[in-house]
Amino acid sequence: MIYTLPSTQPIKPANDQTQQVLKTDLKSLGDNSVGDYFKNLALRHYIETIIAKNESLGVTTGVSVMDMQTQQPIVSHNLDTEQFAASVNKVPIAELVLNDLRAGRLTLGTQLSWTASDVRGGAGVYDQPGAPMQASVQDLLFDMLNPSGNTAVRVFVNQAMGGAVAVNGRFKNELGLQHTYLQPLDGTRFYVGNTTARESMKNIQALLTGSDQYQRLVKNALATNIYTDYGVRSQLAGNDYIVLANKVGILDDSDGNNRHDVGLIYNTQTHKTYGYAFMDTAYGESYNTATAQAGIALADMGKGLLRYSGDKAVKQQNQTRLDAQAEQLQLPAHEGKRLEY
């Protein structure tokens, strides 16, 4: 189920001068004859131009882009500014699940059960009316990451980890997170809480580190996730040597409209990996200004990083820009409003 945002006039993400700057930088990012030093400069300039547009419209923006081989930052902005995480906080929950699997506290075949009061609406298998009330850890983990299932989050937190307060303790003590936490409402209900660009980068990297069956499971779930029309994934040029494993968080709320995307980009030809966390929060309810720009920015930043990573532009049908379709932008219903878990 999806809903359509209120109709607006199409919005341009930048003025003509800024748009020309972005086009010039994109050309440099896709030019293999340009050295790494100059491509780094071009990527920073490209993303900083988008950040400036965001912030001119009041969009709080946090960005972390890193070279995973060297662990060196390429672009950093507002790394420690907390924003409501939406579904990107499913990543550290998945980290804890993997830790429990590796420690033998859970197995992929462990069956977890829940009741009708635990079911939360969403796109996941277990979010649907009439869905089973029992599933294996393996199936729940895939469901939480690939279609971004919401019931799976509640089941893991309450049935396998002792509740939101206990999870927050593990975030801090086990994962070393200071700004990533759930927001407990009572003994069983919670919001998915806050995070930052720095810690989102740390979380996605930790989740996808390793080469065991658990890492392969989560990498496959994130690399094949269903959100093909949003954020960085919407800008994939179609080259089969580029693998993107990512998690989006899209939510409209009275406290701010969130447009987030975190992930790793693998180039299987060059064997290089780049990590990113793009976090945008817009304030107010006008879809033809800040919120539209926040969503456009994810796609624009993603396009630049993909070109930098070696994803070459191909046919025009893969180059559709979200800014020309802002009035038609649709969001998954479960991502559209703040849910308690």
Beta bridge partners of 274: 67, 265
CA separation, residue 17 to residues 20, 21, 61, 121, 132 (Å): 5, 6, 22, 43, 54
Q: pLDDT of 150-159, one tens digit each?
A: 999 999 999 9
Amino acid identity of residue 204, one-letter, is: I
- Supply the pLDDT for residue 108: 98
- Supply the pLDDT for residue 336: 52
- Supply the pLDDT for residue 194: 97
- Supply the pLDDT for residue 12: 44
The pair of structure tokens assigned to 302 is 């993603």
The pair of structure tokens assigned to 137 is 């850890």
The pair of structure tokens assigned to 339 is 């849910």
- Supply the pLDDT for residue 180: 98
- Supply the pLDDT for residue 52: 95
Each domain of the chain, given as residue ranges in start order, spans 2-336
Q: How far is Cα 177 from Cα 196, in angstroms, rounded to an integer?
A: 10
- Supply the pLDDT for residue 105: 97
- Supply the pLDDT for residue 323: 42
- Supply the pLDDT for residue 144: 98
- Supply the pLDDT for residue 17: 65
Residue ranges of the chain with pLDDT lower than 70? 1-18, 285-288, 314-341
Q: Helices 16-29 and 36-56: crossing angle, nearest 10°?
A: 150
Q: Are 171 and 165 in contact (CB under 8 A)?
A: no
Domain at 2-336, CATH class: alpha beta
Q: How far is Cα 329 from Cα 291, in angstroms, rounded to an integer?
A: 11
- Supply the pLDDT for residue 287: 52
- Supply the pLDDT for residue 289: 84
**Helices of type H across 35-108:** 36-56, 90-102
